[in-house]
Amino acid sequence: MSTPSPYRIDVEVESTYVEEQSAPAESRYVFAYTVTIRNTGQVPAKLLTRHWIITDANAKVQEVRGEGVVGEQPHLNPGEGFQYTSGTMIETPVGSMRGSYQMRADDGVAFEAPIPAFTLAVPRVLH
C-alpha cells in the first residue's frame, strides 16, 4: 500500500449556464463555474498559477494560463479550503474544461493539483 502524499490538493467544480450573458444566435455561450480547492495533504501550500484547457463541441481549444485565481493566490493550511466563482465563453452549447493549479508548499516543494474535466452544457441540450 502506498503512503499518501504530504502534498495533495483536491479540486471540485460545478458549472452553470449564464443565459442572460449568452447569445446563441451569435455562437456565444457563457458559463459560470464555482471551484472548491481543499488542502487534503499534510503541508501548507500556496496556489501560484493556473492552467485551463477549454474545449468546445467543434474541438476548438482555448488555453488559459495566469497567476492565481480571481486575483488571489490563496494559501491553504492542511484541512483548509478556498472557493471562488469565475466564467468562460465558448462558441457551442456544450464543451468541457480541465486543467491544473501549480502549487508551492511551505517547505519549498512545487507540485501540481489536477483539475478534473467537467462539462459545460446548456440545460436540456444533453440528455
* Cα–Cα dist 104/108, whole Å: 6
Give the model's pLDDT for residue 52.
Answer: 97
Give the model's pLDDT for residue 58.
Answer: 97
Dihedral (C-alpha) 88, 127, 59, 10: value to the nearest 10 degrees?
50
Mean pLDDT by 10 residues, the chain (127 residues): 80 97 97 98 97 98 96 97 97 98 98 97 79
What domains sit in the chain, N to C, each tagged with a CATH number? Answer: 9-121 (2.60.40.1470)
Give the model's pLDDT for residue 119.
Answer: 97
Give the model's pLDDT for residue 5.
Answer: 83
